Amino acid sequence: MTQNNNMLFPAEEERAVLGAMLIDNDSVFDIVTMLKPSDFYDLKHRAICEAIFAVHHRREPIDLLVVCAELERRGKLKTVGGPAYVAELISAVPSALNAAAYARIVKTTSQRRALRDVAVKIAELTTSEEEPVQAAAQIISELSSIAIGIGKRTVLTMSDVANSVIDEVLNGDDSIPTGFGTLNLMRGQITLVAARPGIGKSTFLQNVAQYVAKSGKHVVFVTLEMSPEEIMRRMLTAEGYISNARKIREDELDNFFRGLGELEQLPLSFIYDSLTISEICAQIEALHARKPVDLVVVDYIQLVRSSTRQNTRTDEISEVVVGLIGLAIKTNAAILCAAQFNRAMEQRSDSTPLLSDLGESGSLERNASMVLAIHNNDYTAQTVKPGQIIQSDILVLKNRHGPLYKFTLGFMPAKNKFVNLHVEK
pLDDT for 80-108, tens place per residue? 999 999 999 998 888 888 888 898 899 88
pLDDT at 424: 46
pLDDT at 298: 93
Does residue 79 sit in helix, strand or coil? coil
Q: What is the CATH code for 3-128?
A: 1.10.860.10
Residues paired with residue 129 on neighbouring β-strands, in sequence order:
none
Domain with CATH 3.40.50.300 in the chain: 174-420
- If one counts every other C-beta atom within 10 angstroms of the C-beta of residue 282, the result is 24
Is the pTM higher than 0.75? The answer reads no
Low-confidence residues of the chain, pLDDT below 50?
1-4, 150-151, 423-425
Cα dihedral sign for 101, 103, 104, 110? Answer: positive
Domain with CATH 1.10.860.10 in the chain: 3-128
pLDDT at 238: 82
In whole angstroms, give the CA distance from residue 225 to residue 316. Answer: 18
- DSSP symbols for 94-127: S-GGGHHHHHHHHHHHHHHHHHHHHHHHHHHHTT
Cα dihedral sign for 271, 216, 201, 337? Answer: positive
10 Å CB burial of residue 231 (0-12, 13-18, 19+) is buried
pLDDT at 317: 80
Homologous superfamily of the 174-420 domain (CATH)? P-loop containing nucleotide triphosphate hydrolases (3.40.50.300)
